[in-house]
């Protein structure tokens, strides 16, 4: 119990220590995309409050040509959205890539992984960033679960099977910064 309390205190301190203002938008972003990104970030702010400090230093930009609808570039902490796109697709993609950013910079996301793997029925030693396919990769499952939680919808064109236990676990983590299954 003391270990869990100390872990939560440390995670709270780390979140506060790295808090300096949240994501920045690239200067050359089209106005209509700025509106979609701002609206999406407002949803992120409301849904992932304990993790907002982990978003500092993140930059959201766009590209007219990109292999996928979006990507997270961990080397420069950048989410790149392919445009044009529909507002719902851009929103889902942005939140999905923000979840990938959290995997690299948010200590509580590391703490969540064992419980997440168990909730998805995966072995404890399953590699987080590897899978037989995109939809079988735990990292992609996590990012999709976060995007579904924040946006309130799933992607019809790229379905990933998420257990109800996983959805509940991600919701608990999103709201509290921890889970009853971690620590």
Q: How far apart are CA 162 and CA 96, in angstroms?
A: 14
* Token output for 7: 């872990």
Residue 163 is predicted with a pLDDT of 93
Answer whether 181's CB lies under 8 Å from 115's CB: yes
Calculate what percentage of the chain has a pLDDT beyond 90: 64
Q: Is residue 26 part of a domain?
A: yes
Give φ, ψ of 129 to 5 degrees: -100, 15
Domain count, the chain: 1
Mean pLDDT of 74-80: 94
- The percent of the chain in helix, strand and coil, each rounded to the nearest 5, is 55, 10, 35
* Token output for 89: 């697709």
How many CB atoms sit inside 10 A of residue 99's CB?
Answer: 27
Please state, rounded to an integer, the average pLDDT across all residues of the chain. 86
Residue 181 is predicted with a pLDDT of 59
pTM of structure:
0.84
Query: How far are the Cα atoms of 6, 54, 149, 150 from residue 178, in angstroms, in the given order?
Result: 12, 14, 16, 17
Instruction: Residue 125: give the domain boundaries.
Output: 2-176
Q: Is residue 19 part of a domain?
A: yes
Confidence of residue 156 (pLDDT cuts 50, 70, 90): confident
112 closest CA partner among 67, 56, 175: 175
Residue 10 is predicted with a pLDDT of 37
Q: Is residue 106 part of a domain?
A: yes
Mean pLDDT of 52-62: 92
Confidence of residue 128 (pLDDT cuts 50, 70, 90): very high
Residue count (the chain): 183
């Amino acid at each position: 119990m003391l270990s869990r309390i100390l872990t939560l205190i440390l995670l709270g301190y780390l979140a506060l220590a790295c808090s300096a203002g949240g994501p920045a938008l690239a200067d050359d972003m089209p106005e209509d995309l700025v509106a979609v990104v701002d609206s999406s970030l407002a949803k992120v702010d409301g849904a992932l409050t304990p993790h907002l400090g982990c978003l500092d230093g993140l930059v959201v930009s766009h590209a007219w040509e990109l292999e996928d609808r979006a990507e997270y570039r961990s080397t420069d902490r950048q989410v790149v959205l392919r445009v044009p796109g529909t507002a719902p697709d851009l929103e889902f993609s942005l939140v999905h890539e923000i979840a990938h950013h959290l995997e690299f910079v948010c200590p509580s996301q590391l703490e969540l992984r064992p419980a997440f793997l168990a909730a998805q029925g995966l072995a404890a030693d399953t590699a987080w960033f590897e899978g037989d396919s995109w939809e079988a990769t735990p990292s992609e499952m996590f990012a999709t679960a976060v995007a579904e939680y924040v946006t309130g919808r799933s992607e019809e064109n790229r379905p990933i099977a998420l257990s109800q236990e996983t959805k509940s676990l991600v919701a608990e983590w999103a709201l509290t910064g921890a889970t009853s299954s971690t620590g």
